[in-house]
Amino acid sequence: MLPRARALARGRGRGRLPGASRRRLPLSSSPAWLCCWALAACQAAWAGDLPSSSRPLPPCQEKDYHFEYTECDSSGSRWRVAIPNSAVDCSGLPDPVRGKECTFSCASGEYLEMKNQVCSKCGEGTYSLGSGIKFDEWDELPTGFSNVATFMDTVVGPSDSRPVGCNNSSWIPRGNYIESNRDDCTVSLIYAVHLKKSGYVSFEYQYVDNNIFFEFFIQNDQCQEMDTTADKWVKLTDNGEWGSHSVMLKSGTNILYWRTTGILMGSKAVKPVLVKNITIEGVAYTSECFPCKPGTFSDKPGSFNCQVCPRNTYSEKGAKECIKCAEDSQFSEEGSSECMERPPCTTKDYFQIHTPCDEEGKTQIMYKWIEPKICWEDLTDAIRLPPSGEKKDCPPCNPGFYNNGSSSCHPCPPGTFSDGTKECRPCPAGTEPALGFEYKWWNVLPGNMKTSCFNVGNSKCDGMNGWEVAGDHIQSGAGGSDNDYLILNLHIPGFKPPTSMTGAMGSELGRITFVFETLCSADCILYFMMDINRKSTNVVESWGGTKEKQAYTHIIFKNATFTFTWAFQRTNEGQDTVHQ
């Protein structure tokens, strides 16, 4: 091919006679002239088949390449080199230049601009940790993470109950967090990182079920476990609360393992471990800033984090500001990536309260929308808020209290007693009052009780009432979303046994008894928890699904300050309620 092309080129050169293009040829010369032009055209066509090595490459432009650093040498130095982008052929790449020292890093909110090797501020809508990386989006498994599942044959039981294989068992991304397996496979979430200097890894987690083992440890590139993870077993957390775990990292290769193993107890499923906001500090530099995830924004250059969009606003990825939803027809939760249409209001969107009793012994029934209000009462088939102000007779005081002609109930003085309907009377001679609280009527929330709402995903529901008084019982509120914990606390400063029992060893000091029922159209669970002397809250008992009306009693053997907590949670869609 090449000799032929050269011959044609020579023929083309001979065909162009001096002055041929400037003077008219005689007719007899025309065929030769036409032949020359034909050969020239063929030469031009065949030249397109030449190998690229024989054609000059276009000069490289900045968009055709990017900069990277070489590996550090023994003296801790490196070079900055230009690397062509994929599918780009060009010539004249910038020459290598001496790079920044290997331990160099930019401050938070900055990135290393590789062309001039200087730190620059991140733009609006982005953020940087400077010498760290953060994983806070779990719509899919981020690049670099992997799952490895095995079955540890240590469980006592029939072999036919064990899983055939663990190929389908893995950690599952759930948007804001990643969730562990729920079976008895051992599954490791793995991430490898190479640090130029010492640093640390931190993450937030929920670990509430001791029927699943959860450990975090680190190995080096020789698969040897690092001594920084001597205490690799992660501590349990309280229901609804996120714990934090942090471990120092050495320079070099660190392979991080989050490993779980479930222990199945009959048909009761284990509650998975949740992990979010994994942060790794110690990478030498970052050459780019990270866009804010949907539902967040940064409105200033040089941000080291992104702020959460407030309720009834939204944002897309890399937002500089949040956009308001249409006020009348749309709503959004805090940290949303889109607005949703407001549904028509139903009876589930409001609640009733009773005002304190007046001097006539009457209470008013008041109706209020559950806040934040997300329904729209102007839609077809929507209901409106019932009128407030209807008066009803006040229920009697609870035992141990009496109104004494006033509009509110007061505790009986020491040495007296009442069933709540009569005045307080002295105890007969030779007897003493049986001290305690008995709540039979729920007109207002007692002074030593409080209610709140807590959400697993950190979406605030503080403005909502977790529980509502309802005459002869108290019931869980509507909540804002699935996974809300509806909390009811009862504070007891201490227990005083009767004089006849003072000094008895191992005897009962008191007891708490409550009657309850749960009405669930989907998965739900009621926890009864206890805290002693404000140290830590532990689950005493729990009930899942719909339960008929029943009583539960817990015996107290220690005189201390107690806080009893009832926490109700629905885990799937459905209208669920618990009554006490």
The predicted pLDDT at position 564 comes to: 93
The predicted pLDDT at position 18 comes to: 35
What whole-number distance in Å separates Cα of residue 477 and Cα of residue 484?
A: 10
User: 143 and 115: one domain?
Assistant: no
Residue 174, domain extent: 133-283
User: 233 and 141: one domain?
Assistant: yes
Q: For 144-157, what is the mean pLDDT?
A: 72
The predicted pLDDT at position 431 comes to: 85
State how many domains the chain has: 3
The predicted pLDDT at position 218 comes to: 92
Q: Which of 313, 330, 242 is nearest to 278 (CA)?
A: 242
Which one of 325, 341, 357 terminates a domain? Answer: 341
Mean pLDDT of the chain: 80
More confident residue, 573 or 103: 103
Position 153 pLDDT exceeds 80: no
The predicted pLDDT at position 140 comes to: 92
Any bridge partners for residue 346, and if so which? none
- Long-range contacts formed by 30-39: CB under 8 A, 24+ apart: 36/11, 36/12, 39/8, 39/11, 39/12, 39/15
| Position 54 confidence tier, pLDDT thresholds 50, 70, 90 | low
The answer as to whether 417 is a domain residue is no
Asked if 100 and 117 count as a contact pair (C-beta separation under 8 A), the reply is yes
The answer as to whether 13 is a domain residue is no
Whether the model clears a pTM of 0.85, i.e. scores above it, the answer is: no
| Position 220 confidence tier, pLDDT thresholds 50, 70, 90 | confident
User: 160 and 302: one domain?
Assistant: no
Q: Which of 200, 194, 190 is nearest to 254 (CA)?
A: 194
Q: For 72-95, what is the mean pLDDT?
A: 88
Q: Token pair for residue 393?
A: 């007779």
The answer as to whether 68 is a domain residue is no
More confident residue, 278 or 176: 278
More confident residue, 75 or 121: 121
Q: Which of 456, 367, 363 is nearest to 407 (CA)?
A: 363
Model confidence pLDDT, tens digit, residues 466-509: 888 877 888 887 665 666 788 899 998 888 766 665 555 557 78
The answer as to whether 433 is a domain residue is no
Position 363 pLDDT exceeds 90: no
The predicted pLDDT at position 337 comes to: 93
Q: Is the dihedral of CA 332, 483, 467, 385 positive or negative?
A: positive
The answer as to whether 222 is a domain residue is yes
Among the ranges given (91-95, 300-304, 349-353, 446-450), the one the predictor scored with the smallest mean pLDDT: 349-353
More confident residue, 544 or 321: 321
Percentage above 90 pLDDT, the chain: 32
Model confidence pLDDT, tens digit, residues 244-280: 999 999 888 899 999 998 887 655 667 899 999 999 9
Asked if 112 and 119 count as a contact pair (C-beta separation under 8 A), the reply is yes
Position 115 pLDDT exceeds 50: yes
Among the ranges given (69-78, 110-119, 246-255), the one the predictor scored with the smallest mean pLDDT: 69-78
User: 334 and 469: one domain?
Assistant: no
User: 104 and 180: one domain?
Assistant: no
User: 524 and 537: one domain?
Assistant: yes
Position 195 pLDDT exceeds 90: no
Model confidence pLDDT, tens digit, residues 301-312: 999 999 999 999
User: 139 and 276: one domain?
Assistant: yes
Model confidence pLDDT, tens digit, residues 505-527: 557 788 899 999 988 877 788 99
User: 261 and 288: one domain?
Assistant: no
The predicted pLDDT at position 578 comes to: 64
Which one of 283, 307, 323 terminates a domain? Answer: 283
The predicted pLDDT at position 126 comes to: 96
The answer as to whether 363 is a domain residue is no
User: 329 and 470: one domain?
Assistant: no
User: 574 and 560: one domain?
Assistant: yes
Among the ranges given (104-113, 519-528, 569-578), the one the predictor scored with the smallest mean pLDDT: 569-578
Most confident residue range from 21-35, 429-443, 444-458: 429-443
Write the CATH number for 144. Answer: 2.60.120.200
User: 155 and 235: one domain?
Assistant: yes
Position 154 pLDDT exceeds 50: no
| Position 53 confidence tier, pLDDT thresholds 50, 70, 90 | low
The answer as to whether 414 is a domain residue is no
Percentage above 70 pLDDT, the chain: 79
The predicted pLDDT at position 510 comes to: 84
Q: For 225-229, what is the mean pLDDT?
A: 63
User: 108 and 145: one domain?
Assistant: no
Q: For 99-112, what is the mean pLDDT?
A: 88
Which one of 341, 366, 389 terminates a domain? Answer: 341
The answer as to whether 520 is a domain residue is yes
Asked if 168 and 148 count as a contact pair (C-beta separation under 8 A), the reply is no
| Position 415 confidence tier, pLDDT thresholds 50, 70, 90 | confident
| Position 382 confidence tier, pLDDT thresholds 50, 70, 90 | very high
The predicted pLDDT at position 49 comes to: 44
Write the CATH number for 494. Answer: 2.60.120
Buried b (16+ CB within 10 A) or exposed e, 120-144: ebbbbbbbbbbbbbbbbbbeebeee
| Position 436 confidence tier, pLDDT thresholds 50, 70, 90 | confident
Model confidence pLDDT, tens digit, residues 385-399: 999 988 888 888 888
Asked if 495 and 510 count as a contact pair (C-beta separation under 8 A), the reply is yes
159, burial (CB in 10 Å: exposed 0-12, middle 13-18, buried 19+): exposed
